[in-house]
Structure 1
Amino acid sequence: MTRHASKLTANALPLLIGSVPMDNHDAATALVFDHTPDIPLWVQLPKYPSEGMVEQFIDGLPGLKREGDKTFIDSTSPEFEGQVLEFFEEYLAVTEAGQDIDQSRFILPEDKCKGVTALLERVGQLPSPPFALKGQVTGPVTFGTGVTDQDERAIFYDDQLRDIMVKRLAMNALWQARHFKTRGAIPIVFIDEPALAGLGTSAYITITRETVTQTIEEIARAIHQEGGYAGVHVCANTEWDLLLEADIDIISFDAYLYFERFILYPEQIRQFLERGGILAWGIVPTLNPEDIRKETVESLLMKFYDQVAQMEDIGIDRAKLLGQCFITPSCGTGPLTLDLAQRVLALTRDLSFVIREDG
């Protein structure tokens, strides 16, 4: 479990979540490099509908139909079974027969993921690669409950459609990790799962913990296959023990608002860190504009060290904790104004610097 994380030293480096409130990918990428040069990521610009969490990863699914503003999977169409066969033939060709993934449906579409192109072009201009590169895919629960079939039933509840969807996301993640690795950087790919905040509620009462774990771990295995590190990002509260016990390397959580909920799992946190897991500490607020305006590096530093002290109280070594954490915003900055987003990025960078200087 977390078989890669022990080789990755986080050391409180700054790390970002993908969305940025801009409309130019090159400018947004430059902003990312200004604030997180050690681990830049490819940006998602939600001002473009094509860069939504579902839309970026939906191409290539069998049965995909668009009618007006509605996108769904039609598993009753005459072409569906043939498309399913083609999907699995291509999947096996890439995973077992050595077909170049760049010549498959599993690439990220350039028209919907221009941030990837901007990132890789920028990396190619550097004299040496960054320490790591970060990408992301939408998580299986979020994606699978956000896409429906012809009867408006979420595809996560259909065994066949769920399997196809997870394999599609896994290959998208593998494609990113492979490209990051060939650039000489450590690959980090986050599985973004905002829907896990609803796990255990009546809305998702028929989704089992076992199925959630299986689907996330299938994507993580694809990332691991390329020597990458698999993270899961949840921007609210969830059943943290599920993720702490899963075969993933990084857990990204909102420490600003939900640290008291996260620390309710002391034994699982200890075990996760003991096997090399890394915490992406979302200490910089993104949800409430007033919080963003009022917080400073000094106030967030006090909050962070108070949380570290609480971790020490449950038996976690301070030096180990600082070595196995990233400093991050609590979520992406896409919904914010540009000035607030820039403040979030600056707070993240500067807070990380002070923590690392303190040792």
Structure 2
Amino acid sequence: MSIPGNLLTTAMAVMPHTDAEHALKTALSMDVPFWPQLPNLCYYEDMYVQAAEHFPGILLDVNNRTLKFSMDKFIMELEETMAHFDDPSWFDISESYSSVYHRFLAMDLSDRPAIRGQLEGPISFGFNILDQDERPILFEDTVRSFMLEFMAKRINVQLNRLKALNQNAFMFVDEPGLQYLFSAMSGYNDIKAKKELDIFFSMVERPRGIHLCGNPDWDFLLGLDLDILSLDIYTNAEVFSSYAPSIKRFLNSGGVIVWGIIPTGFESFEKENINLLAAQLENVWHILAKKGIDIHHMLKQSMLSPATCCLVNPDKEKTVEKAFSSVQQLSGMLREKYGI
């Protein structure tokens, strides 16, 4: 497995910065860096907008910061999109949609243990983008089927660009919408989602995984064919630790867990300290150990990160940067404690 563990650090890509160079410097402070997504800098930097580039039927209004879908436009543009289906550049993120991505690609990152990219996943994209009738495009069978292959191609193209910089590159498929599958109101059930996500991941090159900050059905998520799972353990510690059998199977199959433990919200961050957060995380590990998971094996296949992204702090990027620094500090403490 090319994804490192041993409590090395990474973070969520969505950052509150309005200075691209500053954001990139902060991202590079992690052991496993990534290219930042900066929606406060420009609407093109929004994760849904970046995923929507060249998707047929998209109605993008940058000035009013809206992203919608038209079925008539989809039908009209589909033929042109299919004509580009074997053109990798069509599925990459252009400089117009992320200048910081292209700055990242211009760097020498070969000495890092790994690097990481990301793209919005099909479930969240499909829930978030509404058609002319204010209906999520996830409910349109034809669009959804196309979307699975389209997003898989986009992820593969980005992964190959990153692997040219570092052979241990991997991708996060960002899926905050997965937690809504298990609501009776979602209109798209978990059985159908499991079948279609299996199809989706069969088209996505390895190494690949899912990042989300919410609380889905963890048996469902850990049962997908993933190499890495990134989650908010700060909020979901009690729930996640109750899924020991699925966690054990995931780890035994070589999966890596990214434990998001440092809060990035101003109020939450200010009331915590490193020792309390370390104790909270270790408590989860000890609960899992009592349920038959070897701690040292688990830590070998673990990374650390902030718990979530945060765009709305009153101090803008300052608390987020403190959280990044705290992750590095916590990593050093725990690596020394466990002899890693």
TM-score, length of structure 1 as denominator length: 0.87
Alignment of 1:147 onto 2:129:
yes
The corresponding residue for 1:64 is 58
Question: Residues 71 and 230 (structure 1 numbering): CA distance in 2 closer, same or farther, change over 3 Å?
Answer: same
Choose the corresponding residue for 2:192, options 207, 211, 225.
211
SS at match of 2:15: coil
Aligned-residue CA RMSD (Å): 2.0
The corresponding residue for 1:3 is none
Does the 8 A contact of 2:4 with 2:114 survive in 1?
no
The corresponding residue for 2:270 is 293
Superposition map of 1:52-201 within 5 A: 52-66=46-60, 69=64, 70-77=66-73, 80-91=74-85, 94=86, 99=87, 101-102=88-89, 105-121=90-106, 123-124=107-108, 128-201=110-183
Q: Give CA deviations for 1:141-172 in whole Å, capped at 9, x if unaligned.
A: 21101112222211100111112222222122
The corresponding residue for 2:237 is 259
Does the 8 A contact of 2:219 with 2:246 survive in 1?
yes
The corresponding residue for 2:282 is 305
Question: Residues 323 and 136 (structure 1 numbering): CA distance in 2 closer, same or farther, change over 3 Å?
Answer: same
Does the 8 A contact of 1:173 with 1:222 survive in 2?
no
Question: Residues 138 and 66 (structure 1 numbering): CA distance in 2 closer, same or farther, change over 3 Å?
Answer: closer
The AA in structure 2 aligned to 1:180 is L
Per-residue deviation, 1:275: 0.6
Choose the corresponding residue for 2:38, options 45, 67, 89.
45
Q: Which runs of 5+ in 1 are unaligned?
A: 1-5
The AA in structure 2 aligned to 1:109 is S
Does the 8 A contact of 1:140 with 1:215 survive in 2?
no
Superposition map of 1:191-340 within 5 A: 191-204=173-186, 206-224=187-205, 228-286=206-264, 288-336=265-313, 337-340=316-319
Aligned length in residues: 333
Distance in 2 of aligned mates of 1:49 and 1:273: 38
Distance in 1 of aligned mates of 2:273 and 2:60: 46
Greater CA drift, 269-278 or 161-170: 161-170
Alignment of 1:8 onto 2:3:
yes
Per-residue deviation, 1:207: 1.1
Question: Residues 242 and 341 (structure 1 numbering): CA distance in 2 closer, same or farther, change over 3 Å?
Answer: same
Q: Which runs of 5+ in 2 are unaligned?
A: none
Distance in 1 of aligned mates of 2:32 and 2:204: 17
Question: Residues 219 and 134 (structure 1 numbering): CA distance in 2 closer, same or farther, change over 3 Å?
Answer: farther
Question: Residues 299 and 321 (structure 1 numbering): CA distance in 2 closer, same or farther, change over 3 Å?
Answer: same
Greater CA drift, 67-76 or 144-153: 67-76
Question: Residues 174 and 219 (structure 1 numbering): CA distance in 2 closer, same or farther, change over 3 Å?
Answer: farther
Q: Give CA deviations for 1:8-63 in whole Å, capped at 9, x if unaligned.
A: 34111011000122112122111121x21x31000011202222221111121222
The AA in structure 2 aligned to 1:278 is V
TM-score, length of structure 2 as denominator length: 0.91
SS at match of 2:84: helix
The AA in structure 1 aligned to 2:47 is M
Identity of aligned residues (%): 27
Does the 8 A contact of 2:3 with 2:114 survive in 1?
no
The corresponding residue for 1:357 is 336
Question: Residues 11 and 155 (structure 1 numbering): CA distance in 2 closer, same or farther, change over 3 Å?
Answer: same
SS at match of 1:280: strand
Distance in 1 of aligned mates of 2:195 and 2:304: 28
Per-residue deviation, 1:185: 3.3
SS at match of 1:351: helix
SS at match of 1:202: coil
